[in-house]
Amino acid sequence: MPEVGGVFIQMEDEIASITSVIGASWAGAKAMTATSGPGFSLMQEGIGLAVMTETPCVIVDVQRLGPCQGFATLPMQGDVMQARWGSHGDSRSNIVLAPASPQEMLNLTMEAFNLAERFRTPTIVLSDEIVAHMRERVIIPRIEDLRIENRSKPSVPAEEFRFHELSGSDVTPMPTLGSGYRLNIMGHLRTEEGRVNIPSQNAPQLAFKLLSHLSEKITTGEWEARKIKTLYADDSRTMLISYGATSRTVESAVKEARKAGMKVGCARLVTLWPFPEEQLQTILEDIDNVIVVEMNLGQIVDKVREVVGRSTRVIHVPKVGDLHTTEELLDCVRKVAV
Amino acid sequence: MSHPLMKYLREDWMPTVLCAGCGDGTVLQCMLQAVENKNIDIDQVAIVAGIGCHARLGTGYIAADSMWPLHGRALPIATGIKLVNPNLHVVVLTGDGDCGSIGLSHFVHAARRNIGVLTLCFNNGIYGMTGGQVAPTTRRGAITKTTPYGNLEYPLDLCSLAETAGASYVARWTTAHPRQLTKSIEKAFEKKGFSFIEAVTQCPTYFGRYTLETTRASEILRWFLRNSMSVEQSKKLDSEELAGKIIVGEFVDTQKPELAEQYQIQSRLKK
């Protein structure tokens, strides 16, 4: 980092890592931290602070088998719901992206910074032990070819700036510490004037408005990174749904099945949260069978069931600690596909 | 005429939420007086507070950049700020529970790194905001809400911990020593490295009521004075004679390379 004018520090623990990232972000830097499984649990407190203070930051979580120590070198996709809901208190403004290759580790981390800056929210790159250990060719783009987003700064002077004002799903500009705005940044519920002594009869209404703002700012409107990548989606009767490392075997299984003449395709969720409901609904509209492949006991499958409704058959293929084999997936496909 | 330090405060936010007779206001005044005396541009000060009585002073009442984030995590947040913008005066307001219990490891590591953060610890010897529970700094034998038969544990000496961990400046005063406290804060503003100042503050509502059986701030302040002993004096006594004493003065006053500055120098060399 010194070579490029950045700062790197190894903090004493994950709580200190995420909180120092929050401090760095308010001091004006684009800041990130990286961890694996248990460290991500520790970071939830800080992620809650980043949500409540609308701090742009990026967290890379390399998922591993758990809970607790689990098994450090075994893969799992067990943090999907934790990445979504981790902090206490109905915290739901995390954006979560799931890379499936080293190239995507790079691209989605860059994308995560753009999203974090645009929405003033923690953005999580939810990798897993397999993708993180993968060695593949990575093309590093030229800086001038990149689309770089920066947080919006207030355009009005300090005395006119209303730091805590909420305007529905709009993101408020974010001044930097030391720029004369005399900010009072807090993890506490506040009035739109930034007061914390709130009459108890007003607090519930105020809390509803704040929490709705935090949630709606990332779900309102379309944004390009909320994406799903598909293969043979046009004429398939059966679709396999996956994300992250799991999608690698899914793709080879689908290609095998196609060779055998089966009308099978797959959809890979690149954005996990906010869940790309409408996009998935469109993809799965005329599908007979949906097979959800996850390296856990079932985290995204319920969301898929909700999207497709009762008329479509949803089959779940759970596994932990290892990738599904192509053969396992083909077995499953053969049972339903024609 | 308004108070000469009122320009640093949000007057329309007054009165504070603190109890009558609380010592935190005295520490706040000492801090603002030090800012005034040292001619520090308040817009170049970033305050990070913890959680507890002291924290309510940190965000809101002071008209400066401030954060009121999480219990115990002020120091790592401050570390992030200082590393990105070493020109800011980063001030951490913390309490004895915030710093000595939940945030203990961050405290030790911030001192070890010698990050240029001024840490002002309001030590009232009890968890005041939550109703008077025992803290890691509570005196042995003290009655609190969670030690109704007396505290069996030994209190933590935050200053000696800061010294051991490697802080550049360490001092302790009580709210009965406001001039000395102000001078120490002034000195800490000039220090490059990590400075730790412990301000022993009176909590009439809990500490006073439970331990000294008085809710009068003036009586607690007199008790502070009676029980205080200078660092120099304390060196002549053994641990038995020192039991229950509040040792006041400067414990460390040294100059050594500060982390954020060192990082910048290293970065220039690597570019």
DSSP character string of B148-201: TT---SPPP-HHHHHHHHT-SEEEEEETT-HHHHHHHHHHHHH-SS-EEEEEE-
The residue ranges of every structural domain in chain A are 1-224, 228-336
Q: Do A177 and B13 touch (CB under 8 A)?
A: no
B87: which chain A residues are within 8 Å (Cβ-Cβ)?
A: 178
pLDDT at B60: 82
Q: Looking at the domain assignment, is residue B221 inside a domain?
A: yes
The answer to whether position B7 is within a domain reads no
pLDDT at residue number A224: 63
Inside any domain, residue B50: yes
- B66, B68, B271: residue with CB nearest A187: B68
Q: List pLDDT tens digits, range A227-238.
A: 899 999 999 999
- Is residue B16 in some structural domain? no
- CB–CB of A185 and B78 under 8 A? no
Tell me whether domains A1-224 and A228-336 share a fold.
yes
Q: Is residue B6 part of a domain?
A: no
Q: B27 in a domain, yes or no? A: yes
Question: What is the reported pLDDT for B243?
Answer: 86
Residues in chain B closer than 8 A to A1 (CB atoms): 267
Distance CA A120, CA A116 (A): 5
pLDDT at B117 over 80: yes
Q: Do B263 and A194 touch (CB under 8 A)?
A: no
**So what's the pLDDT on residue B43?**
97
**Residue that is written with structure tokens 């700062």 in the block:** A7
Domain residues for the domain of B94 are 22-270
Look up the ipTM and state it. 0.96
**Looking at the partner chain, which of A12, A21, A183 has a beta carbon nearest the beta carbon of B65?**
A183
Give the model's pLDDT for residue A54: 97
pLDDT at A338: 63
Q: Which of B9, B59, B93 to mutate to test the interface with A (most CBs of A within 10 A)?
A: B59
* B14 belongs to a structural domain: no
Share of chain B above pLDDT 70, in %: 100
Residues of B in contact with A5 (CB under 8 A): 267, 271
Angle between helical axes of B259-270 and B74-84 (0-180°, round to 10): 40
SS3 state of residue B204: helix
**A170 DSSP assignment:** P
3-state class (DSSP) for residue B45: strand
Whether pLDDT at B14 is above 90:
no
Domain at B66, CATH number: 3.40.50.970
Q: What is the pLDDT of residues A197-215, one digit of tens each?
A: 888 899 999 999 999 999 9
Q: What is the CATH number of domain A228-336?
A: 3.40.50.920
> CA B73 → CA A53, B78, B88, B104, B162, distances in Å?
14, 9, 19, 9, 17
Euclidean distance between CA atoms B66 and B47, whole angstroms = 4
Cα A198 to Cα B254: distance, rounded to the nearest angstrom: 45
The mean pLDDT value for B27-47 works out to 98
Please identify every stretch of chain A with a pLDDT value under 70, giving residue numbers as ranges.
222, 224-225, 338
Residue B108 lies in a domain: yes
Q: What are phi and psi of B18, to 5 degrees?
A: -70, 155
Classify residue A143 by burial, with Cβ atoms within 10 Å: 0-12, 13-18, 19+.
exposed
Residue A225 confidence (pLDDT) = 60
Q: Most B CBs within 10 Å: which of A17, A57, A91, A186, as the mutation test of the B interface?
A: A186
CATH fold for the domain made of A1-224: Rossmann fold (3.40.50)
Report whether pLDDT(B59) > 90. no
Q: Order across the sheet with A228-231: list the strands.
A: A228-231, A264-269, A238-242, A289-294, A313-318
Report in angstroms the alpha-carbon separations of A147 from A96, A150, A307: 19, 10, 32
Cβ-contact A241, A291 below 8 angstroms: yes
How many domains does the structure of chain B reveal?
Answer: 1
pLDDT at position B56: 85
Residue with tokens 């010897």: B125
The string of DSSP codes covering B213-225 is S---HHHHHHHHH
